Amino acid sequence: MAKAKKKTVFFCKECGFESLKWLGQCPGCHEWDTFVEGPVTSGTVNGIQSIGISSQSKKLTEIELAEEERIITGIGELDRVLGGGIVTGSLVLVGGDPGIGKSTLLLQMCRVLAATGYKVLYVSGEESQRQLKMRAERIGEFNENLYILCETDLDQVSNNITNVKPDVVIIDSIQTMYREDVDSAPGSVGQVREATSFLMRIAKGLCVSIFIVGHVTKEGVVAGPRVLEHMVDTVLYFEGDGSAAYRFLRGVKNRFGSTNEIGVFEMKSEGLCEVLNPSEYMLQGKPENASGSVVTCSMEGTRPILVEVQALVCQTNFNMPRRTAAGTDYNRVNLLMAVIEKRLGIRMSDFDAYVNVAGGMRINEPALDLGIVMAILSSYHNRVFDSETICFGEVGLVGEVRAVNLAEKRVIEAAKLGFKRCIMPKVNCHKLNLDKTALNGMELTGVGSIHELPEVI
């Protein structure tokens, strides 16, 4: 008797749009050549699909809202990025370059959770139990609340979750997991999509918090279908140069907290250590009496971080001047240099320009504009900018200095670190409502246009 053919459907790997036939262009996101074939799933995970999930509709006014239950990881920087801890039943995706420290951070989190009485299951599809034991001994001592499973079959993983009944599950990594009813290799688009959907139903059905580790492509995005990021509750990216000591954990999506929060870690021999005051570490080694160096303030979520912007402007030897930007948007630097040339009458087309945000961070916030402009002017005039002065503000095409958000937090952070003067947008300066204690003797200077900069520097 002929074997029944499995039903398949075509879906867009960018937005998840499904179709019964292959399409050249996706009707949902209008991307070309993004449809791949995958099986039709029944939506049942070992009979646990409906556990804990109501199948009947309710009026919004009848739903009782209690304070959401969170698991405190004990790692302050991780809790900050997650929005105050792990939400029960959430699915969290952690992405990052190879060797950046994803597995180390999650293993450290498992150690703290196990020590506080939570039951944790660490599922690895890339390492053996002995290899995990060797890495764990480098981090510290673990108790009996941490379970290790080296498996890639998601049906076996589901059975272990049902038997162990953990509070938190780590899947390392999603590209190694597979389902037998999906006719494709582990790591393929179809397998990654179905594996994530499988784990999402487990998380919601059993109220288990699941962390999945995702590999990234050379473009810096998580490998697999883009719909993967839409399916999960939280997306965290672990950034930084593998050869540098510092790492940045950034939240780019969070259904239970603010996005663009950032956590700073330092890689040491015993693992990752928290950097509690990123502003202080960012300004370490700042040169004294050097032109082209300006301190500005950026907001990462709700946290103000002071960074040093460096600029080097020198006479060009070519018909086309060189422009280089590290840590900020290259096109934004070109735009600001055009504003300087047009509004201040300085012929920047005769000069090469190199702009760098010291410390390894990448910042695209408009409030960095004023710092970039002042660093370029400082280097061009070879004039040293006062080391006890900080500046921030957005610069428009007309040369105006526009207001930025959360100006009070920026000023307070600068005052805490001992800065004596702050150059900021005039609109923010007039609306600022801070007492003398918070300012700590710091002088506030408001500017409305870059024409006023030569007067205040």
Higher-confidence residue of 130 and 43: namely 130
pLDDT for the residue numbered 346: 92
Domain that residue 97 falls in: 75-275
pLDDT tens digits for range 403-452: 999 999 999 999 989 999 999 999 999 888 887 777 888 999 999 999 99
pLDDT for the residue numbered 440: 82
Residues 160 and 285 in one domain: no
pLDDT for the residue numbered 31: 82
DSSP states along 235-304:
EEEEES-TTSSEEEEEEEEETTS-SS-EEEEEEETTEEEE-S-HHHHHTTTPPSS-TTEEEEEEEETTEE
Residue 324 has pLDDT above 90, yes or no: yes
Q: Is the residue at 99 inside a domain? A: yes
d(CA 78, CA 81): 5
Residues 109 and 19 in one domain: no
Mean pLDDT of 397-404: 95
Q: How many helices (H) and strands (E) does the chain have?
A: 13, 23
Mean pLDDT of 23-51: 66
| Exposure b/e, 401-438, CB count within 10 A at least 16 = b | bbbbeebeebbebbbbeebeebbbbbbbbeeeeeeeee
Residues 297 and 262 in one domain: no
**Closest CA relative to residue 271, chosen from 96, 101, 72:** 101
Amino acid at 50: S
In total, how many domains does the chain have?
3
pLDDT for the residue numbered 285: 81
- Which domain CATH number covers 197? 3.40.50.300
Higher-confidence residue of 316 and 354: namely 354
Residues 90 and 32 in one domain: no
Confidence of residue 152 (pLDDT cuts 50, 70, 90): very high
pLDDT for the residue numbered 48: 44
Neighbours of 211 (CB within 10 A): 26
The burial class, CB within 10 Å (0-12 / 13-18 / 19+), for 388 is middle
Residues 268 and 294 in one domain: no
Residues 175 and 290 in one domain: no
Q: How many residues does the chain have?
A: 457
Q: Is the residue at 17 inside a domain? A: yes
d(CA 279, CA 307): 7
Q: Is the residue at 55 inside a domain? A: no
| Nearest 10 degrees: Cα torsion 313, 316, 321, 327 | -30
Q: Is the residue at 387 inside a domain? A: yes
Q: Is the residue at 69 inside a domain? A: no
Residue 47 has pLDDT above 50, yes or no: no
Residue 23 has pLDDT above 90, yes or no: no
pLDDT for the residue numbered 337: 95
Residues 127 and 238 in one domain: yes
Reported in sequence order, the residue ranges of 279-366 that DSSP labels E, i.e. its strands, are 293-300, 303-315, 323-326, 351-357
- Domain termination residue (choose one: 275, 310, 340): 275
Higher-confidence residue of 106 and 453: namely 106
d(CA 174, CA 167): 19
Q: Which of 182-196, 327-341, 344-358 has the lowest mean pLDDT?
A: 182-196
Q: Is the residue at 327 inside a domain? A: yes
Confidence of residue 356 (pLDDT cuts 50, 70, 90): very high
Q: Is the residue at 232 inside a domain? A: yes
Q: 153: which DSSP letter?
A: B
Confidence of residue 1 (pLDDT cuts 50, 70, 90): very low
pLDDT for the residue numbered 431: 87
132-140 long-range CB contacts below 8 Å, 24 or more apart?
A: 132/107, 135/103, 135/104, 135/107, 136/107, 136/111, 138/269, 138/270, 138/271, 139/104, 139/107, 139/108, 139/111, 139/270, 139/271, 140/111, 140/270, 140/271
Query: For all residues of the chain together, what is the average pLDDT?
Result: 86
Residue 455 has pLDDT above 70, yes or no: no
pLDDT for the residue numbered 276: 83
Q: Facing residues of 86 across strands?
A: 71
- Give the percent of the chain with pLDDT over 70: 89
Mean pLDDT of 138-158: 92
Residues 426 and 312 in one domain: yes
- Domain termination residue (choose one: 246, 275, 304): 275
pLDDT for the residue numbered 420: 93
Q: Is the residue at 125 inside a domain? A: yes
pLDDT tens digits for range 93-144: 999 888 888 999 999 999 999 999 999 999 999 889 999 998 888 888 899 9
Mean pLDDT of 328-337: 95
**Closest CA relative to residue 383, chosen from 392, 391, 374:** 374
Residues 167 and 238 in one domain: yes
pLDDT for the residue numbered 45: 42
Residues 222 and 326 in one domain: no
Residues 159 and 258 in one domain: yes
Higher-confidence residue of 391 and 182: namely 391
Residue 53 has pLDDT above 50, yes or no: no
Residues 264 and 129 in one domain: yes
Residue 260 has pLDDT above 70, yes or no: yes
